[in-house]
Structure 1
Amino acid sequence: MLLIEEKRTQIDDLLDKMAENLQLDATRQQRMKQHYEAVKDWIEADPVFFGPYKYDVYPHGSVRILTTVKPVEREEFDLDIAIHLKPGMGSHSPARIYAEVKRRLEAHETYKGMLEPKNRCLRLNYSGDFHMDILPGVQESEWDENKLKVPDHDLGRWVSSNPRGYADWFLAKANLVKMSLLEKALRAENLPADNFDQKKPLQRAVQLIKRYRDLYFQERFSDHKTSSIVLTTLAGMYYTGEESIFDTVDNIVSTIGRETAVAEKRIKVFNPVNPQEDFTDKWEDDPRYYIGFKAFCKHLQSEWQELKKHHGIPDESRILKGLFGESVVTKAYQSQASHLEELRGGGKLGINRTTGILSAAGSMASTVKPNTFFGA
């Protein structure tokens, strides 16, 4: 997609292309889906414990809300899935549920060598690619199909969680905007929508913020990286329906800056669908997490303000590369240029006779001739 009428539309198109380059490719997504379904089938076929019970197995986290980002360098992607047992399992202790999932995975020739027990989940390490965190949970009640009790190994008791409800909350926030700036520009310009997957500005903003987080914490506070769930929750909380990706990021980081500036103590980020769950509880035990979070947000906000000054493409490119990485930004610029040439060659690009700027070919525009080797 190439949008050429306004500077703010051009930058949104660039940000959209950057975020698209960041998300997991179709091959990797398909590979993860195959592994997830294989684990699901293995658990469902258990004759010892899980066979008689009713339950769902589903992905949650960034895969469910469509905010995945490729890991940087040697980092692995985190695929979260839930084993959602239906009511009637209350007679079993948290330790029993956890142990039964562990037993079933250890009974598999491949999984037993990949298994890593964690506090609330069991992790399967697909070395060099991704890891799958399997969260077992029991539905708390018949009337709420999303709220789960999950075992906390350290505490030795059930704790409340709501991964599916969280995804519903985030997607509802993303859908506050019915049509994004880019979608409106496509319609207004009558340009083709090829390869535009129509993710909402909030989803794109989260992808970009997470990418910047990954790069920022490589050099600073590397052991105290801000978690994706904290950033995603804050983004959802502070999103107010902006149509543009640029404005969405700007509003989110500016609001975080104001909130942290006036707070006498550290801010707390709770699960919006389960206020009992504090996503930032480890900040209390180790203040370096909060110090790193504030520094990261302050730098992003500062750089974003520089982008708003419109110093021209060289400065714009320099700032974006500093935030999101050279290769991602370069590919986005190349994609814009390639699409421009495509439109020019197809006679779909013109010059608006009134404004003199590039536009879709139509009644108000004279067609721009395709480039040839001799310029004829």
Structure 2
Amino acid sequence: MQSHFGPHLQQMDRSSRIISLLDKVCMKIEPSQHQYDLAEERYLAVGKWIAGAADDLLQNSSICVQGSFATSTAIRPPEQSEYDVDLLCYVPNDDLSLQPISLKKALGDRLRQHATYGKMLEEKARCWRLNYANEFHMDITPAIPNQACQNGGCLVPDKELRRWKESNPRGYSKLFKARAALEPRFEKYESFGIESAHDSVEPFPKRKEMQGFLRRIVQLSKFSRDFYFSKKSIALWPISIIITTLTSRSYEFCVGKYVFQDELDLLCKVVEHMPDTISCKDGISWQILNETTTGENFAEKWNTDPERAKAFFAWHQKFLEDLRKLRVSVGLDVIRKDLSDSFGVEAVTEVFDDITTEVSSARQKQKLAVSAELGLTTDSSCRAIIPKNTFYGFVQER
């Protein structure tokens, strides 16, 4: 009798292994557990120091993580060994007469009072940066409450320090985590790939929270962007908050609408629908609004530099084409080339070097299998085991 699985099972088998390779790529570019532990240690220390300030402007201040570490989507910046850790110093002062430049100065003065921080301190346009050599740098942005925001938003300085502008990092992170918790539905088959799975200093996000489809898709999208624009103008690349926002919206839409063949189908559909919630009025006014507050448009720079919008859509089309090509790739050599074309040679080479080591170890342990789609693999669930190879040939089981 003919199997009900047929070629679809073969596609599932190949797709799941490609997803496994993509997962390994993400593991190469995301912070290690040691780096997470270091970041948490530094974060707690600087938060405690700021909270102990005598300056009235910093009284009752609290600190929290924002950006990619808050959503657990951090990846290694291109051409850098240091990760970006973005922090928010929240001061419960709702006096709008307080000037951004004054609060920023008070924050900088407090950091300079510390024997270590004073030597590491670098002033940026809206924040203060602590440079931990060969580890990461922490950007600390001052903020005050936004009484007009019903979602508990805040106000942060603009780049000129002339006015306050709307933001809501805490609300944004909460919304992202809610979307990340949504479970996609798959056709009949089990998932082989990624697991679905009042202090002055808020808890630092745990690394285990990085598991999950949405976070991996964001990481892959950002890594694709980094490689694509490394050969073009980095000044035009879409900022990470745009990629994270569009990916999370698309993920929510796709999970509610589709039943997926496999994880690779999920990845392709989420990337395909990323532009759907971009708004453009009269063909000139781009909007990607922050849903957790009012007045924050992540695409505001697209309106002063239209080339940024063109660059986003060009990258997005290339990324989608790369994923669709990868979906039909057969054989490790072809898959390796396609992955390198999408994400660069360095991380992909590291992944395949690890696979070579695993295969060598598995051969010694007689756990090496052969897959018609991929070639050699350490997954022997549905493939023939290759006998151990010695200098004298294959050793037969007795």
Calculate the TM-score normalised by the size of structure 1.
0.80
Please say if 1:86 is aligned against 2:92: yes
Query: For residues 148 and 41 of structure 1, what CA distance do their matches in structure 2 show?
Result: 21
Please say if 1:249 is aligned against 2:267: yes
Query: For residues 383 and 309 of structure 2, what CA distance do their matches in structure 1 show?
Result: 56
* Greater CA drift, 140-149 or 53-62: 140-149
Query: For residues 25 and 285 of structure 1, what CA distance do their matches in structure 2 show?
Result: 38
Q: Which residue of 109, 112, 121 maps to 2:127?
A: 121
- What SS is found at the alignment partner of 2:126? coil
* Aligned twin of 1:172: 178
Please say if 1:270 is aligned against 2:277: no
- What SS is found at the alignment partner of 1:83? strand
Calculate the TM-score normalised by the size of structure 2.
0.76
Q: CA deviation at 1:72?
A: 2.3
* Aligned twin of 1:201: 213
- What SS is found at the alignment partner of 1:42? helix
Counterpart amino acid of residue 318 in structure 2: H
Q: Sequence identity of aligned pairs in percent? A: 27
Give the conservation status (yes or no) of the 8 Å contact 1:146–1:163. no
Number of corresponding residues: 360
Please say if 1:54 is aligned against 2:60: yes
Distance 1:259 1:88, change over 3 A: closer
Q: Which residue of 246, 249, 258 maps to 1:234?
A: 246
Query: For residues 157 and 165 of structure 1, what CA distance do their matches in structure 2 show?
Result: 22
Counterpart amino acid of residue 81 in structure 1: L
Distance 1:74 1:180, change over 3 A: farther
Query: For residues 186 and 51 of structure 2, what CA distance do their matches in structure 1 show?
Result: 41
Counterpart amino acid of residue 160 in structure 2: D
Counterpart amino acid of residue 286 in structure 1: D
* Aligned twin of 1:323: 342
Q: CA deviation at 1:229?
A: 0.8
* Aligned twin of 1:305: 324
Please say if 1:99 is aligned against 2:111: no
Distance 1:366 1:143, change over 3 A: closer
Give the conservation status (yes or no) of the 8 Å contact 2:365–2:388. no
- What SS is found at the alignment partner of 1:86? coil
Query: For residues 34 and 151 of structure 2, what CA distance do their matches in structure 1 show?
Result: 32
* Greater CA drift, 170-179 or 236-245: 236-245
Query: For residues 229 and 315 of structure 1, what CA distance do their matches in structure 2 show?
Result: 32
Distance 1:118 1:261, change over 3 A: closer
Please say if 1:216 is aligned against 2:228: yes
* Aligned twin of 1:192: none
* Aligned twin of 1:154: 160
Query: For residues 186 and 208 of structure 1, what CA distance do their matches in structure 2 show?
Result: 15
Q: Which residue of 348, 371, 375 maps to 2:388?
A: 371
* Aligned twin of 2:74: 68
Distance 1:144 1:342, change over 3 A: farther
- What SS is found at the alignment partner of 1:15? helix
Q: Which residue of 5, 8, 14 maps to 2:21?
A: 14
Give the conservation status (yes or no) of the 8 Å contact 1:307–1:319. yes
Q: CA deviation at 1:279?
A: 0.9
Q: CA deviation at 1:335?
A: 4.0
Q: CA deviation at 1:252?
A: 3.3
Query: For residues 37 and 148 of structure 2, what CA distance do their matches in structure 1 show?
Result: 33
- What SS is found at the alignment partner of 1:6? helix
Q: CA deviation at 1:227?
A: 0.9
* Aligned twin of 2:203: none
Q: CA deviation at 1:299?
A: 1.5
Distance 1:274 1:260, change over 3 A: closer
Give the conservation status (yes or no) of the 8 Å contact 2:93–2:145. yes
Query: For residues 332 and 271 of structure 2, what CA distance do their matches in structure 1 show?
Result: 23
Give the conservation status (yes or no) of the 8 Å contact 1:58–1:81. yes
Query: For residues 136 and 280 of structure 2, what CA distance do their matches in structure 1 show?
Result: 39
Structure 1 unmatched runs, 5+: 188-194
Q: Which residue of 155, 165, 184 maps to 2:191?
A: 184
Distance 1:114 1:308, change over 3 A: same
Q: CA deviation at 1:89?
A: 5.6
Q: CA deviation at 1:334?
A: 4.3
* Aligned twin of 1:32: 39
Compute the RMSD of aligned alpha carbons.
Answer: 3.9
Give the conservation status (yes or no) of the 8 Å contact 2:340–2:348. yes
1:50-104 Cα distance to aligned partner (Å, 9 max, x none): 67x3232121111111111112223642210111223666664433322211221
Structure 2 unmatched runs, 5+: 1-9, 195-206
